[in-house]
Amino acid sequence: MKKCSFLLLLLLPLMVSGQVITYDTIRVSPNDERNIYRHQQPQGSTGEPVSITPRRRSITDERPAIFDKSKLRFGADLGLSLSRNYTRLGIGPQVGYQFNSYFMAGAGIKYYYTKAELPTHIIRNNLLGANIFGYFYPARFITVFAQPELNYIRSVLTDKAKDNDELSRGMVPSLVVGAGLRLGRSHITLNYDLVQHDNSPHPDGFYLGISAFF
């Protein structure tokens, strides 16, 4: 009995030491592959996993605005010519867009009234037209110009001797091209109407054109 008690006392420390479990720990960063918590999903207040959806970049974050109001250009085509036998009054607002330093394009409308008194006849014209235009700048002070347009003309021809009126009306196309100087946002060009319609509102042959945009 004494031997058994003595043997039990010898084995007791070994049995107790065998039940002790120790852990060796090392510090690792949150993104380290040895971190066992790195792939765990975050949990909400109820203990359920919370999914995290990455934020998508919107189209407006990646692409600049297509239309820039600061590039709008406003101008006017003004016509005034007075003499003893000829009167011409006209106005034509124009709106352009400066796409870059080499090109500007836009559109406009216009109205002209013309009266010409000839020895035997008096001609009165009312013109309403629309156009598109483009200015190309190959160099800083140089411009090349093109303007297709379509005009509606109502013309009254009065015979002085018979004192009767002859009415005519219709559509008159024009294609004006030109080249010249660019001075800031103004242009001085030598123009020519390629169509050369009989009722064209533009002069025959070459003529000087001036335009300004703000």
104 found inside a domain: yes
164 found inside a domain: yes
CA angle 158, 164, 166 (to 5 degrees): 60
What's the CA dihedral at 27, 31, 37, 43 to 10 degrees? Answer: 130
Q: Is 22 exposed, middle or buried (0-12, 13-18, 19+ CB in 10 A)?
A: exposed
132 found inside a domain: yes
31 found inside a domain: no
What integer best gives the mean pLDDT of the chain? 81
Supply the DSSP string of 181-197, one letter for each residue: EEETTEEEEEEEESS--
155 found inside a domain: yes
Greater confidence, 42 or 94? Answer: 94
101 found inside a domain: yes
Determine contact, residues 165/158, Cβ cutoff 8 Å: yes
At 184-200, the pLDDT tens digits run: 999 999 999 999 998 88
Q: What is the number of domains present in the chain?
A: 1
At 45-73, the pLDDT tens digits run: 555 555 555 566 555 455 666 889 999 99
Greater confidence, 134 or 20? Answer: 134
Q: What is the pLDDT of residue 18?
A: 47
Residue appearing with tokens 């303007």 = 147
Region label for 119, one of left (φ > 0), alpha (ψ between -120 and 50) or beta (otherwise): alpha
Q: pTM of the predicted model, to two decimals?
A: 0.64
Q: What are phi and psi of 82, to 5 degrees?
A: -130, 135
Binned at pLDDT 50, 70 and 90, residue 26 comes out as low
179 found inside a domain: yes
Q: Which domain holds residue 92?
A: 69-212
Q: Which of 96, 103, 112, 104 is nearest to 153 (CA)?
A: 112
5 found inside a domain: no
The predicted model gives 130-149 an average pLDDT of 96
Distance CA 116, CA 124 (A): 7
CATH number reported for the structural domain that contains residue 149 in this entry: 2.40.160.20
Greater confidence, 144 or 81? Answer: 144
